A and B are shown apart, each in its own frame.
Chain A
Amino acid sequence: MVSRTSFRAGLTGLALLLLTLFAASSVCAADDDALRTILMQLREADFTEKATLIETLVNMDHPRIATILGALPESRLYYQEEGDRMVIALGDDAEIAIEDAITGKPLGQVVKRDLDRIRVNNHLRSLIEDRLASLGLSSADPGKRRAAVDAFLRNPKPEGAARLKARLAVEHDKKIQELLTAALALVDLASPDPAARVQAAKALGGWTQPEIRGPLLRVAAEDSDATVREAAKAALAKTEFRLQMLGWAETLFFGLSLGSVLILAAIGLAVTFGVMGVINMAHGELMMLGAYTTWLTQQYLPVNWSLPVAVPLAFLVAALVGIAIERSVIRFLYGRPLETLLATFGISLILQQLVRSIFSPLNRSVATPDWMSGTILLGPLEVTLNRLVIIGFCIAVFALLWLALQRTRLGLEVRAVAQNRAMAKAMGVRSARVDALTFGLGSGIAGVAGVALSQLTNVGPNLGQNYIVDSFMVVVFGGVGNLWGTMVAGLSLGVANKLLEPWSGAVLAKILVLVFLILFIQKRPRGLFPQRGRAAEV
């Protein structure tokens, strides 16, 4: 019995060898017939023979190889007696759609019972996964090549090294070259030669992937040779340093992201508070209106288009509400800042309850457009796209506001009124109109900030309250009436918050920042960049 099996295996092996030679000699000529011959053998072969057959398939240059090898471990490759052909099932129900394995032609629905499954075991599955990965090595798509090397890194086998070396010789993508070198070094790390291991360890320093760090850590701890251990430790130190730098960079990014949100929330306030001396406690609720406007636009427009529409719309809504507030309440209270504070607080309560009554007290979910979701690589750093977009958005809003204040007629009048109201009036500036427009501008920016916030937090009636203390702190810290101060303050508070967070936890970080601000105001009551004036008391 034994001899007969081995004989059969030997015969198949011989046939395969011939086939392989045939395939290798005419790489381009591997046609459907050759593929069909091998696939048909899969039906009869035992697992050992299947392994050999799979190796053969891998080396064939046929466009369907990847599809077939992908279907095989999922048990979707079948033999169909009717038609005597191999087919791939496209599902796993009792009645399934199939396609021809070799041509990919759809063959309609069949009952699964009529098909003959090609069985694989776990050993074969991992073999296929391994080979599929290396299949990508010669792909024209750099992404696929990268994925192939990554797959190798997860499961480094000395057998695969030759293929990697061959690829390295012709690879022209710099990144993939480096990755290939690292993969080869990872193989060398297991070599019996200590010198090779030292070399490999050196080459692997600075690679932060766990697939590389893990083996390096193991070598640093357990290698029999002291020099190898030392080399591994040195390499690890390099890796740790890199990880630390990445960590810092990430913290910085999160800080900038938080900072830009703070700036967005605060610059509208900087306009109303700084220019007009009006404490607008309803500022947070104007942001909330902006966020709700975003939600409303998304009810009528596709998500991907909603944001560009929502930004001007939110500006308009918030600005109009702002002007209404100014004309109906605030203008009666100029020169009485404490009363203004109370009145606008009352308005904030009304707006909150209004939203609660109209839209329900529950949070509304605002969808993130496709072009803002996911992550991208910023150098070595992986960052979420929506935060990046918001940082950019903050810069754009800031620049526009700055331009509006510096380069337009209205901006000139606003600055004039801020510096000396009486003199501006004497020069013919209609200060009441300027006040209304300034308040509208500040409120509109709050609305725009609300659009950004809707992408980061829950949109609900309490949205504004969560930001009001923070945004006042930013304005006061930066110095009232100074846009650059607001920017510097927002960024530094954001970064400081995120720097403290890992050390103290989020809530305590916030408390510490608040306490710092309270102390800071004692020291410099007019903020980082105070407005210069001659009055003893402004």
Chain B
Amino acid sequence: MRFPPWLLSDRAGLVLLAVLVVLGIGVPVFNLLVPPDHPLHLTAYTVTLLGKYLCYALLAVSIDLVWGYMGILSLGHAAFFALGGYCFGMYLMRQIGTRGVYGDPVLPDFMVFLNWSELPWYWHGFDHFGFAALMVLVVPGLLAFVFGWFAFRSRVSGVYLSIITQALTYALMLAFFRNEMGFGGNNGLTDFKDVLGFPLHADGTRIVLFVLSALALAGGYLLCRWLVSTRLGRVLVAIRDSEDRARFLGYRVERVKALVFTLSAMLAGVAGALYVPQVGIINPGEFAPLNSIEAVIWVAVGGRGTLVGAVIGAVLVNYAKTWLTGALPEVWLFALGGLFVAVTVLLPYGLIGLLRRREKAA
């Protein structure tokens, strides 16, 4: 087996892939084969937690692609994540069937509760896994394409773009909070039973979802790494560093931007779709502007424009979050806020930048 040159030169990426392979094999082994009373046994909780981190990491990679390489600071990427999650959540919702509280074979519980008599048109087709999986890509992608196409064509850039992406996710959050939207309102979609016939709470299913998340992250990483190593990738960097110059050189800047923005939104959608079955719920809170900004800070912590940094940042910050919100809940927001300030003022290139500097010095 021969590695393409763009991958061989990416040492950090190879390490990441190796880690993912180790995780993909190690986690199932330590969860399923090591007996529960053994000290090395991984609990289902830990497996889910790790799976969650991997989904966040994929989201971070998608943000790094547009921010680190194209200079677009999207404060609305959590919206694409949540949309992907909702699409898959709708599939899981339809899978409940007659096992809901009201036992309606077609309508999800919240629709029965709201006295709806039939399924809204946009819910049709989501009982098929394939269709739902397609929608996980299409819905966020389409929104990103339409939004990006108009925004980039009228040359909305910089902080303006950041603010309207934030407005976008805020508007979506408000919309999804409404019961009339038909997505469960405040409570969102939950009470999932099984996926493709496998019960969600079974250890085996969790492991499969975890491995899938690892695969998705690896795939997403490879896709982005490949993309930035192509000619298109160089155009991206050119746009980031001087958009006008790239335009004057004859590149169709807005097309490139819209294309990559769409791709990035799709990756975020996939991350969301893998996230939902693992945590068992999706609600409008996922659209909150804070979530998007938090995801941006993961990238900043790891080091933007490196892809690997995004993964490291996402895992580290989320690990810290899990630990702090459990041990010292008061401190978490202080820590997160301090992180924002410290990273932007002291560590503009993130942890990866710190490592590189040390390497150069050595």
Contact = CB atoms under 8 A, between A and B. Distances in A.
B345 interface: yes
Contacts of B345: 329, 332-333, 343
Contacts of A346: 297, 336-341, 344
B341 A525 contact: no
12 contacts: A333-B345, A337-B159, A338-B162, A341-B162, A342-B340, A346-B341, A350-B341, A353-B332, A469-B170, A473-B163, A507-B174, A523-B154
A341 B73 contact: yes
B289 interface: yes
Interface string A496-525: 000000000001101100110111011101
Contacts of A339: 344, 348
Given A349-B337, A507-B174, A536-B244, A518 B293 contact: no
B48 interface: no
B337 A353 contact: yes
A523 B159 CA distance: 16
A329 B154 contact: no
Interface string B135-170: 000000000000100110111101110111011101
B296 interface: yes
B113 interface: no
A505 to B, nearest CB: 8
A349 B158 contact: no
Chain A, interface SS category: helix
A538 to B, nearest CB: 9
Nearest to A279: B159
Interface in B306-362: 330, 332-334, 336-341, 343-345, 348
A470 to B, nearest CB: 9
B189 interface: no
A115 interface: no
A352 B333 contact: yes
A207 interface: no
A338 B73 contact: yes
A518 B167 contact: yes
Nearest to A469: B170
Nearest to B248: A536
A342 B171 CA distance: 21
Contacts of A514: 167-168, 170-171, 174
| Residue from B150, B174, B244, B344 having most chain A Cβ neighbours under 10 A | B344
Contacts of B170: 469, 514
Contacts of B293: 342, 345
A348 interface: yes
A442 to B, nearest CB: 16
B340 A345 contact: yes
A510 B160 CA distance: 20
Contact of A517 (B150, B167, B174, B177): B167
B175 interface: yes
Given A343-B341, A507-B177, 11 more contacts: A337-B159, A338-B162, A342-B340, A346-B339, A349-B336, A476-B164, A507-B174, A510-B174, A521-B154, A525-B160, A537-B244
Given A338-B158, A507-B174, A515-B171, A476 B330 contact: no
B300 interface: yes
B201 interface: no
A152 interface: no
A347 interface: yes
Given A472-B163, A518-B164, A343 B158 contact: no
Contacts of A343: 340-341, 344-345
A357 interface: yes
Nearest to B339: A346
A339 B337 CA distance: 13
B99 interface: no
A342 B300 CA distance: 9
| Residue from A340, A472, A519 having most chain B Cβ neighbours under 10 A | A472
Chain B, interface SS category: helix
Interface residues of B, number: 45
A342 B297 contact: yes
A339 B330 CA distance: 26
A338 B150 CA distance: 21
A478 to B, nearest CB: 13
B296 A337 contact: no
A465 B285 CA distance: 14
B178 interface: yes
Contact of A342 (B155, B156, B296, B333): B296
Given A341-B162, A514-B170, A347 B341 contact: yes
Contacts of B156: 521-522, 525
Contacts of B175: 507-508, 511
Nearest to B243: A537
Contacts of B300: 342
Contacts of A349: 333-334, 336-337, 340
Given A510-B174, A511-B174, A350 B337 contact: yes
Interface string A276-317: 000100000000000000000000000000000000000000
A345 to B, nearest CB: 5
B167 A473 contact: yes
Contacts of B289: 469
Interface in A234-253: none
Contacts of A340: 344
B302 to A, nearest CB: 14
A337 B158 contact: yes
A348 B171 contact: no
Interface string B167-191: 1101100110110000000000000
Nearest to B330: A357
A525 B344 contact: no
Interface in B74-131: none
Contacts of A507: 174-175, 177-178
Contact of A347 (B73, B177, B337, B348): B337
A473 B163 CA distance: 8
Contact of B330 (A279, A353, A536): A353
Nearest to B172: A511
Nearest to B152: A522
A348 B337 contact: yes
B44 to A, nearest CB: 32
A350 B338 contact: yes
A537 B71 CA distance: 15
A514 B170 CA distance: 9
A346 B297 CA distance: 9
Interface in A356-370: 356-357
A476 B340 CA distance: 24
Contact of A522 (B150, B162, B334, B344): B150
A357 B151 CA distance: 40
Given A338-B158, A357-B330, A518 B336 contact: no
Contacts of A473: 163, 167
A35 B177 CA distance: 69
A472 B163 CA distance: 7
A427 B38 CA distance: 75
Nearest to B153: A522
Contacts of A342: 293, 296-297, 300, 340, 343-344
A188 to B, nearest CB: 49
A262 B127 CA distance: 44
B344 A333 contact: yes
Contacts of B171: 510-511, 514-515, 518
Contacts of B168: 514, 518
A270 to B, nearest CB: 14
Given A342-B340, A350-B337, A476 B163 contact: yes
